[in-house]
Structure 1
């Protein structure tokens, strides 16, 4: 039951008014650094087998705050380009207020699975989801093989990528992913089992993380309880 902690990067000067995309040199601002520090403090007790990041500066800085002071291998951030932001092509760097007037904007909101962003470097939303989910599956297998099936690891990525991964975990069509929210420096947790993924928490910006700590062995040796991957009937804890 590999556990994935998905973190969105902290705030930057471009977060909100501008579609930053792959614009180089976009770093955390003072607010974002404070958010990253607070998140690192919250997760300090949670053992991590790895800390992985999008290669973009704002994610690397956020991930480095979490990794600081941890023993290897989680003390060193690994980057994976597949967790990078959607490639928005010609939309990159443009104000969101301006983009909202484009005919394609409405398609992005209502039928994102059909969208390919304009320009030579524009990416299809479905392609971005595919690369990110493939990366998650690859990392799940690697973490389980190297650290055991109950290990947890953290990936720092971007809002649309996180929403796309969550949609996949929930079995939702990509066209529904705009119903999911991933705020700056938020924590989303997905537990992957042989049967299905479980969304443990979504867009958490301040909750207690005690439930993410390793659980002691069951007193009955694991006999008689739900099997890994079974949902508790009635929603009980």
Structure 2
């Protein structure tokens, strides 16, 4: 059994308001650094065979925090990189919600392709292929960690759960959250999902929480039922 720990990077100053995508130089905010130090502390006594990261700075900072004090170097795999959002990169989410493609991303993500970027289906294909490659490379007794991005983690989890990509918006991956998947010869088991620690506040709805009534008027606003494109800022 190969055990995969999926970690989303900590908060940045853009998280939740701007779709950062592959924007260079987006590093963790002060709160984000605190989040990843807390996560690293929770994982400190857990033996890891490898730590792998998206090439983007916010993920590498998160992975390095987990690696600190271990005899491990962080490996970078571009296949765990953020979705190629193309022309959407760097734009405010409230503006993107007015685009016709937003509804496709929410309701039929398997058909969503970002102008000048990649499709969500292509992202899932490369991310799941990377997981399978690392599973084979490290072996069935390995425990390893991958630091990636919200939509990428959700796509990997959807595959592990046997869900069609059109259902992946039902999954949440908050900043600095931990998701654990155990891969066996027959099937994967999702052991833990969107774990952000001992607090219970994140189970309650807040102003930044998606999940509720549907916007029936099609007015181009982000509603409670819209998934957080790019992963969102979480509720903690």
TM-score range, shorter chain: 0.7 to 0.9
Mapped pair 1:205 → 2:202: no
Partner of 1:126: 121
Q: 1:83 to 1:178 in 2, by over 3 A?
A: same
Distance in 2, matches of 1:26 and 1:42, equals 25
Partner of 1:138: 133
Mapped pair 1:99 → 2:90: no
Mapped pair 1:90 → 2:87: yes
1:168-221, Cα deviation, whole Å (9 max, x unpaired): 00000000000000000000000000000000000000059xxxxxxxxxxxxx
Matched residue SS, 1:153:
strand
Distance in 2, matches of 1:135 and 1:207, equals 30
Distance in 1, matches of 2:24 and 2:54, equals 13
Partner of 1:64: 64
Distance in 2, matches of 1:127 and 1:22, equals 16
Partner of 2:209: none
Distance in 2, matches of 1:151 and 1:140, equals 8
Mark the runs of 5 or more structure 1 residues left unpaired by the alignment.
Answer: 209-237
Instruction: Tell me the TM-score normalised to structure 1 length.
Output: 0.83
Distance in 1, matches of 2:64 and 2:36, equals 9
Partner of 2:21: 21
Partner of 2:46: 46
What's the CA shift for 1:158? 0.1
Matched residue SS, 1:28:
coil
Distance in 2, matches of 1:205 and 1:164, equals 19
What's the CA shift for 1:130? 0.2
Instruction: Tell me the TM-score normalised to structure 2 length.
Output: 0.83
Matched residue SS, 1:5:
strand
Mapped pair 1:156 → 2:151: no
What's the CA shift for 1:150? 1.9
Q: How many residue pairs were aligned?
A: 199
What's the CA shift for 1:94? 0.1
Distance in 2, matches of 1:42 and 1:156, equals 15
Mapped pair 1:31 → 2:31: yes
What's the CA shift for 1:142? 0.6
What's the CA shift for 1:159? 0.1
Distance in 2, matches of 1:47 and 1:137, equals 21
Matched residue SS, 2:94:
helix
Greater gyration radius: 1
1:52-71, Cα deviation, whole Å (9 max, x unpaired): 00000000000000000002
Matched residue SS, 1:12:
coil
Partner of 1:217: none
Divergent runs of 4+, >2 A: none
What's the CA shift for 1:151? 1.6
